[in-house]
């Protein structure tokens, strides 16, 4: 039941293409059992005991890492499924190939955890920077309020002096006018 190698390589290249550039840690998932699931695998469809088209799964167990097989589609839905329906698509891999695949899977997990650690570190640094800038702004705001209060008091003093001066001038004018009337 082997399909053409171009079909298998297209799913591998699609997976590796998602790794090119920056890694979206929120959307990324580690390789786990039965990932990815292929519905369009070319050739005649394989039917499970439920008489449904069986998707092609990829096993990531320690015994068959990277080996593709056909299984019941109800497994995806969490419904009871044909547990006995299981048809291998690929031949069994040599032991050395399994070792290499499992080692790469372990390294992926290590790199995933390290990337998650550094993402969290970046969040903490970013938050620290925000906290620092916020504290600086609060301090600057307090100084500006203090300066505004000082300027308001000076303005009030100036108004008082201006009204006092005007009162003196107006009083002097009334006095002068009253002198002329006499």
The whole model's pTM is what?
A: 0.49
pLDDT of residue 60: 84
- Classify burial at 74, counting beta carbons within 10 Å of its beta carbon; exposed 0-12, middle 13-18, buried 19 or more: middle
Average pLDDT along the chain: 78
Tens digits of per-residue pLDDT, 132-160? Answer: 999 999 999 999 999 998 888 888 777 66
Half-sphere exposure of 23 (CA within 13 A, CB side): 16
Q: Using CA atoms, how far apart are residues 163 and 170, in angstroms rounded to an integer?
A: 10
């Amino acid at each position: 039941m082997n399909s053409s190698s171009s079909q298998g390589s297209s799913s591998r290249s699609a997976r590796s293409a998602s790794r090119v550039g920056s890694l979206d840690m929120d959307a990324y998932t580690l390789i786990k059992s039965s990932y990815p699931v292929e519905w369009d695998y070319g050739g005649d469809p394989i039917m499970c005991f439920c008489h449904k088209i069986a998707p092609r799964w990829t096993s990531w167990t320690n015994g068959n890492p990277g080996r593709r097989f056909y299984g019941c589609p109800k497994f995806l839905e969490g419904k009871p499924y044909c547990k006995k329906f299981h048809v291998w698509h690929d031949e069994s891999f040599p032991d050395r190939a399994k070792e290499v695949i499992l080692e790469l899977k372990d390294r992926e997990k290590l790199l995933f955890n390290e990337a998650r650690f550094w993402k969290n570190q970046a969040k903490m640094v970013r938050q620290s920077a925000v906290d620092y800038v916020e504290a600086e702004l609060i301090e600057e705001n307090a100084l500006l309020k203090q300066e505004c209060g000082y300027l308001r008091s000076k303005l009030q003093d100036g108004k008082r002096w201006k009204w006092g001066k005007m009162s003196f001038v107006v009083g002097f004018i009334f006095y002068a006018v009253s002198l002329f009337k006499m």
